Amino acid sequence: MRISEHSFEDGDVVVTSPLSPAECRARLEAAIDHERHPFLPLSSWRGRRPVVGSATADSLILWKRIGYRNGFQSFLMATMRAGEDGTLIRGRCGVHPWVRIWLWIWFGGVILIGGAVTILGPAKAGGAEVRSPESRWLGTLLLPGMLLFGYLLVRFGRYLARDDGRYLVDFLLQTVQGLLPDEARPQPAAGTTHHVEPDPKSR
């Protein structure tokens, strides 16, 4: 899996497990804190397990619990399908699709509004300029300044999430006894040993 903190995507994820989809789901449900809406204000504060998300009969979404808000953190979103030897899990790690949509809207709005201010120049009333030189400079710098701010914000958020993709894949491999295709099972990254706690309801 390709990992890059400078892009929206960590990479494709393909994992095979000898377990059935139902057992994969049961193991995931026992190992994570359940949350279906990652952008709710308290979604990262409820529970204490290191991975948050949800698993259904044929899909899963996982993200790493962090003690702060980062809209650009990585999510592992995948489908689960029964195969000849167990379960095939296929998906991607990267920013949430809603974040990508929001960025398109934000950058598009900045370009449209900032471009209009820059191109149209100072407003005039009755043929006389009504904007000071300082205002003209502000209008000229608005577009590149906002674009630079957005770019640096994304880069910083992805830098903070630089290890999330590897962490989530290691967690998935351990939880469902999975293997990556065409390679030996990797050793978990430092600090990614997970303990699956028994469901209190089963006691």
**Angle at the Cα of 38 from the Cα atoms of 47 and 187, rounded to 5 degrees:** 70
Residue where the block lists tokens 């120049």: 121
State the chain's mean pLDDT as an integer: 77
Give the DSSP H/E element, type plus range, for residue 154: helix 133-160
Cβ neighbours, 10 Å, residue 52 = 21
First to last CA, the chain: 38
Cβ neighbours, 10 Å, residue 2 = 10
How does pLDDT run across 35-56, given as a tens digit for each residue? 866 666 555 566 789 999 999 9
The burial class, CB within 10 Å (0-12 / 13-18 / 19+), for 161 is buried
Beta bridge partner(s), residue 79 = 59, 90
Give the DSSP H/E element, type plus range, for residue 20: none
How does pLDDT run across 59-69, given as a tens digit for each residue? 999 999 988 88
pLDDT at 171: 95
How does pLDDT run across 115-166, given as a tens digit for each residue? 676 666 555 444 445 555 555 566 667 778 888 888 898 899 889 988 999 9
Is 76's pLDDT higher than 70? yes
Number of H helices, E strands in the chain: 4, 8
Cβ-contact 16, 88 below 8 angstroms: yes
